[in-house]
Amino acid sequence: MLNAAASYLHTSAEIRQLCRESKFTAPTPGLAPGFVQANLVILPDDWAFEFLLFCQRNPKACPILDVTEIGSPEPKLIAPGSDLRTDLPRYKIFRQGQFWEETTDIRAFWHQNLVAFLIGCSFSFENAMIAVGLPVRHIETGKNVPMYKTNINCIPTQRFSGPLVVSMRPLPAHQVVRAVEVTQRYHKAHGSPVHIGDPSAIGIQTLENPDYGDAVPLHPGEVPVFWACGVTTQTAILQAQPEFAITHAPGHMFISDLRDEDLTL
Amino acid sequence: MLNAAASYLHTSAEIRQLCRESKFTAPTPGLAPGFVQANLVILPDDWAFEFLLFCQRNPKACPILDVTEIGSPEPKLIAPGSDLRTDLPRYKIFRQGQFWEETTDIRAFWHQNLVAFLIGCSFSFENAMIAVGLPVRHIETGKNVPMYKTNINCIPTQRFSGPLVVSMRPLPAHQVVRAVEVTQRYHKAHGSPVHIGDPSAIGIQTLENPDYGDAVPLHPGEVPVFWACGVTTQTAILQAQPEFAITHAPGHMFISDLRDEDLTL
């Protein structure tokens, strides 16, 4: 079994191999540092065009890194040779938009009509923030990032719609501009913030009760800064209620062969 | 009829209205300056997912600006209220991948299964080059930009594939870096160059015989600089041979309500 100290010795391919052998089933933050981690969404092919269009229309929340050929579980662009049916630590299965079960292997659920979408995640820009000395509160405090539904509507397609979901990181006022500069480069990992300051301006009543993840403390003089979040796709899928869907389990991401810098312009 | 002097008084909506009334059927370069012009591709819905995926995989050549709902001729994101069946000056119709006819109105060809794709074009970054004093040779000489097929293969999908097509602009050696800096901001209008210098390194035997457009002179000390070009999509469509397709006629673009600066990160 992998422990945190050993994880720094592993490449993306090694972590995927451990997942494939069911030797690793835990959350992936901090693993294979420098390699891009990705959100996973799997849908039947008759939903594929519309979901890709939804991502295209909402690129800050849903930056597409790779899309598999119909029926193929191999994301050839970002991890050739990998297998999305086995190479993530944990998955969630949905039927008719309802959660069905969690599993560590989806080979039994795979079908020739499925298409997989890999979507950028905030870990890439958090590494960049840390590299320039910006605080990332949920990492400092050993928590999950706090995430909130907003009153900002995504640009819908016929069947996919829903609120923009954001993640929040508190920053000292004098470092907010630097955080914009650093994260905007990572346009395939949510890029620059979508809002700075007053949570109520985007429909968040209180920071103390996030819709997903954990609350984190704001220190005096700190400003809440909000970035678009990949959970937006899951909300849209729950609303659209496709007959079948698979996603990664929260925090249990796909680790690709891309490097964080590959997500910058 | 619109003349060049008058054109500078027109907005994008006014040009589209003139097209709709068949009062304007000429090429669009220079019209409604500052407004984003776009390539048009229309395909049957069973080709839509794969074409969107092809664009997604080759974003420098095919930066997507808008995709219509199946059956709708209105690009709601970039020109609400417009009608793609009438609002371009000239179209090309293809059947089984073969050119069929050119027309100024496609209402007779429209069908409820069609999806339209609007794709960024180089006019946006050329305006930015001119604004900082960089030469744009084909504009200086009143020609069409020279375009070449390269030996760089696009990332294919199952049915769409083909060579990357590039446009070329000669630049004095000391201004090449500036051209990279200026154009890379316009990531939804082909962005930074794909190649600088030796044409043979990307499979171009001679600059004097472009595959599309006109040859332009290189002055002593100038370096050819190559950008990804939207004609790449047309080559891919000719190879895939869908039963039906419509594109804009070369140079006869759709003029959207976006501003050039909207295409920057």
User: B158: which 2 tokens?
Assistant: 């199952």
User: B204: which 2 tokens?
Assistant: 């171009």
- Over 90: is that where the pLDDT of A9 sits? no
Picking from A248, A226, A250, A218, the residue whose alpha carbon sits closest to that of residue A144 is: A250
Nearest CA in chain A to B190: A265
- Quickly name the fold that domain B123-233 has: PSTPO5379-like fold (3.30.2040)
Same fold, B4-121+236-260 and B123-233: no
The C-alpha atoms of residue B95 and residue B114 are separated, in whole angstroms, by 14
Of A48, A64, A155, the CB nearest to B49: A48
Q: Length of chain A, please?
A: 265
The pLDDT, as a whole number, for residue B5 is: 44
The C-alpha atoms of residue A200 and residue A193 are separated, in whole angstroms, by 16
pLDDT in tens, A79-125: 999 999 999 999 999 999 899 999 999 999 999 999 999 999 998 89
Q: Do A140 and A217 contact (CB within 8 A), yes or no?
A: no
Of A45, A53, A265, the CB nearest to B265: A265
User: What contacts 24+ positions apart, CB below 8 Å, involve A8-11?
Assistant: A8/A33, A11/A35
For chain A, the structural domain boundaries read 4-122+236-262, 125-233
- Quickly name the fold that domain A4-122+236-262 has: PSTPO5379-like (3.40.1640)
Provide the 8-state DSSP code for B212: B
**DSSP three-state, residue A208:** coil
Task: Note whether A77 contacts B57, CB cutoff 8 Å.
Answer: yes
The pLDDT, as a whole number, for residue A265 is: 72
Of B48, B77, B184, the CB nearest to A155: B77
Q: Is B62 exposed, middle or buried (0-12, 13-18, 19+ CB in 10 A)?
A: buried
The pLDDT, as a whole number, for residue A112 is: 97
Nearest CA in chain A to B184: A265
State the average pLDDT over residues A39-49: 97
- Quickly name the fold that domain B4-121+236-260 has: PSTPO5379-like (3.40.1640)
CATH of domain A125-233: 3.30.2040.10
Q: Length of chain B, please?
A: 265
The pLDDT, as a whole number, for residue B168 is: 97
Picking from B159, B115, B122, B153, the residue whose alpha carbon sits closest to that of residue B139 is: B122
Q: Cα–Cα–Cα angle for B154, B157, B163, nearest 5°?
A: 25
Q: What is the pLDDT along chain B (265 residues), one digit of tens a residue?
A: 454 444 556 899 999 999 999 999 998 988 998 999 999 999 999 999 999 999 999 999 999 999 999 999 999 999 999 999 999 999 999 999 899 999 999 999 999 999 999 999 998 899 899 999 999 999 999 998 999 999 999 999 999 999 999 999 999 999 999 999 999 999 999 999 999 999 999 999 999 999 999 999 999 999 999 999 999 999 999 999 999 999 999 889 999 999 999 998 7
Nearest CA in chain A to B46: A49
Provide the 8-state DSSP code for B243: S
